[in-house]
Chain A
Amino acid sequence: GESVGLHLPTLSVQEGDNSIINCAYSNSASDYFIWYKQESGKGPQFIIDIRSNMDKRQGQRVTVLLNKTVKHLSLQIAATQPGDSAVYFCAENNYGQNFVFGPGTRLSVLP
């Protein structure tokens, strides 16, 4: 389930289960969205992106869904593994200008 940690919301899932991380973005004019994974002590790492003319995009074990009507973005991770434990950030971009990041969600994979 979800709980609010010190600063970040935390999602705890059992190893092997699917994870869904949600993000609400702010700018209806944003045309490009990215999910990043940040492990402890490292910079954010690109996972998957999606353009505003799409509503779904799949990668390896990851799927991003975009609902422009309600300005919602989600990241689905299939068969979650211990190595997936990290903080996940969504980011939105508006016509090439600055990126705006969401607050992040900490994913904790339980053995």
Chain B
Amino acid sequence: GAGVSQSPSNKVTEKGKDVELRCDPISGHTALYWYRQSLGQGLEFLIYFQGNSAPDKSGLPSDRFSAERTGGSVSTLTIQRTQQEDSAVYLCASRLETGSQETQYFGPGTRLLVL
């Protein structure tokens, strides 16, 4: 089907507020990844899902960050009590399945700015 989509494309929030970022993976893709990219930096892994479970949460920077995935499809990344250092582009990617030598396909990202 269509590619990976993310919403919102841009989000400006005030320090201390909670934000929720959404990712719609490619239909049929069982693996879903969240990354963070600060300005001019590489990709920082946050979490990945295989189906609805998250075998690897090691990249979440603090307990203010959480993610869930329901129905093996849409995923949401929630940041509570946002801080200015959370400002970044949050990228989602999906992949047919883990355990295969297949690439992941990225969405356009959500640009988060915390004032």
Contacts and interface: CB of A to CB of B under 8 A. Distances in A.
A34 B45 CA distance: 16
A9 B108 CA distance: 23
Contacts, number: 57
A4 B33 CA distance: 29
B91 A44 contact: yes
Interface string B29-72: 00001010001111101001000000010000000000000000
Interface residues of A, number: 27
30 contacts: A5-B40, A7-B39, A7-B40, A7-B41, A8-B40, A34-B103, A36-B106, A43-B91, A43-B93, A43-B107, A43-B109, A44-B91, A44-B93, A44-B106, A46-B105, A49-B101, A49-B103, A89-B42, A89-B43, A93-B101, A95-B99, A96-B97, A96-B99, A96-B101, A98-B33, A98-B45, A99-B33, A101-B45, A102-B42, A104-B41
